[in-house]
Structure 1
């Protein structure tokens, strides 16, 4: 039995188990990226920003929440090489997903196979997080780079090698350029990396040691500042809407773990439950750090706890001083993997105690729940937040069939839509070279159009004798109609 357990927990077997699981997740992500229709936000980015010049993109000439700088550049050059199919434009985020899973594996190497696999499943099988890696948006890129930056931060504070320091800065920079909310991570982790570098060698903080630690960061920090000056200026200008208008505890705090419960009915308020969980985990972690401070050097738990607490203070300060919103929803999703890693590091701090097996079983149970939730909610037909876009390609096929049967083949078609359908329809108009379709606008739908596409619930602007139903799409409660001549 002992030999079996040693084999189960061997580095080689752990690598195989996590590698195969990661490969399966990547295959699922590729399938979804290839089959799920392009969404409103992806289409808006593609149509409005990716065809700008390189200089206009990197200078952020068009500052808007949909314009994630690095993502825009990658879409721009991916289209040049591979075309503008869904899978081609989403491929940078698929690669980022692989990078994300790789860094999770690296941080789980010292743990047992069962807890390492649980870490991978809890994070990789979280539907909101999985979905963003199958979208042509900056969120997946930013989270992958941020987790990689955090890994190299831990490595630098352990081994003090310059290559880890530079990797930390480079990946943090790429993360911020992918999504500006990661600036919260960068600005919080930087002073901590300086502080812990000093404390690692001496319990006392001296001016000489502090200046020496800061000097090591000087060159990469200057380079980062050159690239990040514009994003910082934009945030100061309150150009970005991150969603949260209420207090930090009602908006951002639940986002640390609420994505895990997405789409589930757990019998209690997930917002309250996750808030209590976050506060409890951080409190227990702080107690563990204080209890062990004289027994062991600075470890992953100390660093991750300090990082999350500093990020919380940074988010609150940013709102109070700069007036920016509290991150919520997908804007706060970058907090989720950091918090799961926090739980993982807390669990590892108990590995030499009798309670470790019981705590590990709880962690495994959470992973099993996450896996069941993932398998029940995973859909290759749509992305959760943009489900209304799932029938756009089918609607255009129905429209094309109907206009061929009931109109002159050369006649241009004017399609009126609810405004949120406009970007994705125009993407497919370009993607499929629908030369017979006029560019769709956000003008109010009326009988002046040839066809209308809208949500049919509560929409009775036209009398039944003014149109003919072409097709109904019941999953999205949308309808395509032909406007009849008077």
Structure 2
């Protein structure tokens, strides 16, 4: 690891990292607990044994995240900020190791900047450091693993090998879909060990392979029960079986868009343009890499990305596990951006001006997208829960103004139930009584308030009238007539 100096580049990284940490923390403070977080919080109340063995086999149980959440609640209590505390903190190693990777692998300033900006200014990815889910934690651990993977390639020391595989295993424990990264990484580390030590140092090869096998076996033992219970209860129902591009690549790009408008373009067009840009950068690097003397890191990065994609296909065709969806495929971002960085470096060795233009274009694209796409009030994935506080405050004002006897019965569309139930429990338990969870439209409900989506208005109109609308009239708070 290079000695830290307070250069202008490092000052820029410190300011950028501090700004992003502030925005993530602010989002975690002001945004209500979301639909999926409530299930995770409920799971954290179970015993450690129940959590690690997946006794309740729901996909919200990202085990490492759930265990950290359980510890956080035990120490700090249950509140939106403390529930999300460890996720916020994991942004710090995520960003630090993004910078360290750039300094380890790229000699040119503009390529380093492009890499860091493309990695860290993804609004959709940053959202997961502000919610109590395992996705952000897993990508942070992946970043640490990647740094030590390339440090191993560079130094040939044993310690980076140990750290790379251990952090990769922890990433899997934070989010099981990182198994798509872990297995190809282990094979590449084993291959590198054989190539490094050759036939003359068999004991060193055996030492490396033993470590890789030991960590892999330990991980399999930890994951066996959760995996079998997830498969046995069909927890992959939200994934796809059409194809890798249709089910994984396109949804990931659309989600990375974070609802940002680009010239009125459709999701199809945006995903096509982004794919074309990535392919163009890849092709430029693949064509011009022959002019670069050092090709090892370029090749290992490309093979790692390709191996992860191949493994994802094998998992589908051999194990019948569907293709990943957007949020479960977030770990592809570091792998793709990393290889893009190597491609920009390959172009640099042949045409510095072209590489500079490409790096600046990608950097500007990342900056403007972050400015326009990051919503400090709510994570994009759960935007429908952004107004939970507003709805509760509006109902409370009406109750106080009209002196309605308490507790006041509240009904809602099923998608709003988890967030409302959490905040009613901790803030309005003596004011509101939430109707039990249901998925049908209860037009004859005796509730005083009904919070629902726009498409249910007509069926509820006989007994309820709108009080206020939210989200560009996509959600309505109704009151009994």
Q: Same fold (TM over 0.5)?
A: yes
Which residue number in structure 2 is paired with residue 65 of structure 1? 59
Which of 311, 314, 320 is residue 323 of structure 1 equivalent to?
Answer: 320
Moved more, 52-61 or 159-168: 159-168
**TM-score, normalization by structure 1:** 0.88
Which of 143, 156, 161 is residue 160 of structure 1 equivalent to?
Answer: 156
**CA shift in 2, pair 1:224/1:467, >3 Å:** closer
Cα distance in 1 between the residues matched to 2:25 and 2:283: 39
Cα distance in 1 between the residues matched to 2:396 and 2:114: 48
Which of 28, 47, 59 is residue 33 of structure 1 equivalent to?
Answer: 28
**Counterparts in 2 of 1:250-265, with a 5 A limit?**
250-254=246-250, 261-262=257-258, 263-265=260-262
**Counterparts in 2 of 1:123-142, with a 5 A limit?**
123-142=119-138
**Counterparts in 2 of 1:466-477, with a 5 A limit?**
466-475=463-472, 477=474
- Judge conservation of contact 2:93–2:140 (CA < 8 Å) in 1: yes
Which of 115, 136, 149 is residue 111 of structure 2 equivalent to?
Answer: 115
- Judge conservation of contact 1:90–1:134 (CA < 8 Å) in 2: yes
3-state SS of paired residue (1:326): coil
Which residue number in structure 2 is paired with residue 272 of structure 1? 272
Which residue number in structure 1 is paired with residue 84 of structure 2? 90
**CA shift in 2, pair 1:279/1:83, >3 Å:** same
Q: CA deviation at 1:305?
A: 0.3
3-state SS of paired residue (1:453): strand
Cα distance in 1 between the residues matched to 2:197 and 2:353: 33
**CA shift in 2, pair 1:324/1:220, >3 Å:** closer
Cα distance in 2 between the residues matched to 1:167 and 1:69: 20
Which residue number in structure 1 is paired with residue 141 of structure 2? 145
**CA shift in 2, pair 1:453/1:236, >3 Å:** closer
Cα distance in 2 between the residues matched to 1:26 and 1:115: 23
**CA shift in 2, pair 1:228/1:160, >3 Å:** farther
- Show CA shifts across 1:39-88 (max 9, x none): 111123223x1111111111111122222111112222212222322222
Which residue number in structure 2 is paired with residue 437 of structure 1? 432
Q: CA deviation at 1:408?
A: 4.9
**TM-score, normalization by structure 2:** 0.88
Which residue number in structure 2 is paired with residue 4 of structure 1? none
Q: CA deviation at 1:255?
A: 5.9
Which residue number in structure 2 is paired with residue 6 of structure 1? none
Cα distance in 2 between the residues matched to 1:219 and 1:108: 30
**CA shift in 2, pair 1:455/1:218, >3 Å:** closer
Which residue number in structure 2 is paired with residue 50 of structure 1? 44
Which ranges of structure 2 fall in alignment gaps of 5 or more residues?
none
- Show CA shifts across 1:93-144 (max 9, x none): 1111111111111111143333222222222111111211111111101111
**CA shift in 2, pair 1:282/1:188, >3 Å:** farther
3-state SS of paired residue (2:154): helix
Cα distance in 2 between the residues matched to 1:434 and 1:480: 19
3-state SS of paired residue (1:414): strand
**CA shift in 2, pair 1:407/1:467, >3 Å:** farther
Which ranges of structure 1 fall in alignment gaps of 5 or more residues?
1-9
Q: CA deviation at 1:207?
A: 8.6
Which residue number in structure 1 is paired with residue 243 of structure 2? 247
Q: Check if 1:188 corresponds to 2:184.
A: yes
3-state SS of paired residue (2:469): strand
For this pair of structures, how many residues does the alignment match? 467
**CA shift in 2, pair 1:253/1:405, >3 Å:** closer
